[in-house]
A = this chain, B = another copy of it.
Amino acid sequence: MEAVLRPYELGTTQWYVLYQLAHCGPTMQRDLVKALQVERATLSAIIGVLVRKGLVEQVPDRVDQRQKLLRMTAAGARLWKELPDLAVIHDVAFKGMDDTAIANAIRVLQTATERLEKFIDRS
Decide yes or no whether A102 CB sits under 8 A from chain B. yes
- The minimal Cβ–Cβ distance linking A99 to chain B, given in whole angstroms, is 11
Decide yes or no whether A123 CB sits under 8 A from chain B. yes
Looking at chain A's contact residues, the main secondary structure is: helix
Copies held by the complex: 2
Decide yes or no whether A115 CB sits under 8 A from chain B. yes
User: Would A3 and B120 count as touching, CB distance under 8 A?
Assistant: yes
A87-123 Cβ-contact flags toward B at 8 Å (1 or 0) = 0010011100100011011011101100110011001
Chain B contacts of A89 at CB under 8 A? 116
Chain B contacts of A108 at CB under 8 A? 97, 101-102, 104-105
Besides A102-B108, A104-B105, 18 more A-B contacts (Cβ < 8 Å) are A3-B120, A3-B123, A89-B116, A92-B115, A92-B116, A92-B119, A93-B112, A93-B116, A94-B112, A97-B108, A97-B112, A101-B104, A101-B107, A104-B104, A104-B108, A105-B105, A105-B108, A105-B109
